[in-house]
Structure 1
Amino acid sequence: MAETPQTAPAVKPANPNFSSGPCAKRPGWTVAALADALTGRSHRSKPAKARIQKAIDLTRELLQVPADYRIGIVPASDTGAVEMFLWSALGARGVDMLAWESFGAGWVTDVQKQLKLDDVRVLDAPYGELPDLAQVDFARDVVFTWNGTTSGVRVPDADWIPANREGLTICDATSAAFAQKLDFAKLDVVTFSWQKALGGEAAHGILILSPRAVERLETYKPDRPLPKIFRMTKGGKLIEGIFKAETINTVSMLCIEDAVDAMEWGLEIGGLAAMQARADANFKVLNDWVAKTGWVDFLAKVPEQRSNTSVCLSIVDPAIVALDAEAQAAFAKALVARLDKLGVGYDFGSYKDAPAGLRIWAGCTVEASDLAALTPWLDWAFAEEKALLKAAA
């Protein structure tokens, strides 16, 4: 167990941004990276469409998306991308919904209470665990998050998904893309947003469709009205323009430029493998610290299932565990607020629906040196808050 620091550390992280979305910008980013953004131009203009297409092409290259998969930029962030497909395509067959944290649970609510589908199975697990993946029926459609952003629990691989499945696999990969290996051969729908692993700006989502997903859209007509921003077909055919820079609604050319900048940085540092390696190295910093620190542990119980991006931690010191849930949450918030006030680290508290604790973003845009600088401050802040708690007892 590490000794409790008695004085504040001398070195602060150079970049104190550890939010799980919007996440830290890529190293070296300044607003000058957006100087050439086509602000004031129509997104339908020829140069603007070329820049939007550049963002799509870079996504394919950097994320290694198969050539026959479509990539579209859609409204309303990752949520919009997921909802577009759920509302447009679910109901053709039964669906298995997997949930082990708040966003997966949100998709369950939408499918059960909003879409009100008849044949829905829910396979869920508490925070810190995965459902039994062996129970998934791939004759049905399957909806799941690759990486549980609010629990720090991810699927370790795609080996549990058969290649010859009958249903579609619909994967919310927003906090996994670019940091974890996505096996596109096993995924029919993949969604994410720029503000996670790319450190990009919010509001727009990315929707990636396999040929099987396109076939579903073209052959299945749901018996429910679809708002304009959800419509991906016309006359029984895919609206190809959505996947060729003709976005459904107006995109921010500042956001487009920022996403292009982030992906060009990703290619410059060595591409997808290098981005994944950075996230793994960042996780190692936190993993090594947790291994020698007695007051904190991973929320994810199984090492192979621990996220290398949204690292969720529980405070396990006996004195804190003995408190009621409200007091535990207050303690964790006070620890975070202490370091926020000092400019050491921002926005790394656990998600509002998750168990009390910490959630530290360790994706590829974060520097390992900043995480290494953060951990002594975490030890110090814990000791300070525990001393206050003891004094008040």
Structure 2
Amino acid sequence: MTMLRQGSRAIDKLVIIGHGMASQRLLERLAERDERPRHIHVFGDEARPAYNRILLSPLLAGEIDENGIALRDAEWFAQHDIRLHSGRRIERIDRQTRCVTDNCGEHWHYDRLVIATGSRARFFDLPGAALAGIHGFRTTADVDTLLAASGCGRRAVVIGGGLLGLEAAEGLRKRGMTVTLVHRARHLMNRQLDAQAAELLSAELARRGLELRLGCQPTAFEGDGERVDGVLLDSGERLPAALVVTAAGILPNAEPGLAAGLAGERAIAVDDTLTTSDTHIHALGECCEFEGTTFGLVEPIHAQVEVLAERLCGGDARYALGDCATQLKISGIDLYAFGVLDPEAGDEVLRYVDIEAGDYRRLILRHGVLVGGVLYGDTRDGPWYFHQAQRRRDLRACRDTLLFGAHDASQQLEEAA
């Protein structure tokens, strides 16, 4: 490993708190650079190295095993001279001495500290919330718990009709459980899909055997005093449940930074260099907030990683908020959505629907520029549409063929150029 010459801005000791997808991606970017910090220590609460959390749904469904979600093995860390401390929790950050203390009482000094502690499931503060059998869906340990709990009964209730809730519900259904999904909005994935696309999604899930309760929410969990056996809804209905999964939002794991006095409200506040109110400490991913925005999708966090890796190697990269695309990861169901969901006055809305084939597209044009899209069924052209939206390209020249995909639209744009 080649280091910067003496007198440069090379960082000697880097400590990273949290070993999830974000911090692992950061480590891989740093491992590519000669200017990387000399000594790198990364601490993870979980007993195993970072893994691909996006694949928790197929893991729950039994479509892959834990080897299929692994990112790097111990040999990789040894090869790149990075010290991994799995199953170690950092209990305290001392900003004055630039030292962290782990749950074994050991002290670790840093020149720079990165907090990448992720998030946790948001649970409901309702009567019966302390009953056994109510779980989140964020880690492999959660998957193990859900699989063990599924043997206690055949009925499950999943609360939350967003990405995570749908994936959890489908995973449990594939394990043989009868699953009811509860969502407070009138249609599924209401932050990403319009009503027509959501209707197609609901119909497909119902065809598979998933029961839906839309436009309602839980008011209490009921049980025998120890374990949950039902969920009471504000509609008055009682759903029997041997297992409840809450997937209705996340909470940033910002406590380590906030307890150390770092600025922040919902999460640890960072500037466009991913630096906190302490110039020696950075925050990354779901535990940070930038310009009042917190994060839960992969794309913006990957962009943060690129900026922070450059900064830690002496560069001057800056982070800015950008658009993101959403994809649903359920076998046999393809969704792709991005940008504006509700059109404004003067926007042009283009729609294509083939109920029999299960295909749907809705594109929103604003002064000829694509500002939002929803695709259900055939989503192959989703990334092309998203790219045009990011470029803010005027698409009026291919307006008549735009709904029919990238090939025809691109050809028409070339002819008009």
TM-score (norm 1): 0.32
Structure of higher RCO (CA pairs closer than 8 Å, 6+ residues apart): 1
TM-score (norm 2): 0.31
Q: 1 or 2, which has the higher helix percentage?
A: 1
Q: Which one has a bigger Cα radius of gyration?
A: 2
